[in-house]
Amino acid sequence: MMHLVASGSELLHHAVTLAAAGPPPTKPEQPPGMENVTKVLNWIAWGVTILCVVGIFMVGGKMAISHRNGEGLEAGSGLGKVLIACILVGAASGLVGAIT
């Protein structure tokens, strides 16, 4: 009976070890013509990133002018929207990078 328990624990140990190791890493191959798609996606990602930075500068300028005119932080909601857009762009670039 003890031999059976020992075999069961060894089997469990090997199963856990194999599960932790996971499948062997493989380098995925891109389909033909994917280089051009990747190039276009990179250009779009750079363009959108530049637009996010420009948006932050524009909202900052608008906030400075609003503060000077005594309107307070009413332009602050624009900063929140631009920052949410930046977060979405960052998340999307990570997802696209993982896929391609």
Amino acid 19: pLDDT: 57
- Token reading at 41: 């996606």
- For 35-73, the pLDDT digits (tens) are 888 888 888 888 988 998 898 888 888 888 887 777 766
Identify the band that residue 5 occupies on the pLDDT scale cut at 50, 70 and 90: very low
Identify the band that residue 23 occupies on the pLDDT scale cut at 50, 70 and 90: low
Query: Are the beta carbons of 63 and 79 closer than 8 angstroms?
Result: yes
DSSP structure class, residue 23 = S
Closest CA to 83 of 43, 56, 64: 56
Please, what is the average pLDDT of the chain? 75
- Token reading at 65: 């002018």
CB contact set of 7 (below 8 Å; sequence gap of 6+): none
What number is the average pLDDT over the span 8-19?
61
Closest CA to 95 of 48, 41, 47: 41
Query: Are the beta carbons of 52 and 82 closer than 8 angstroms?
Result: yes
The pTM of the full predicted model, rounded to 2 decimals, is 0.58
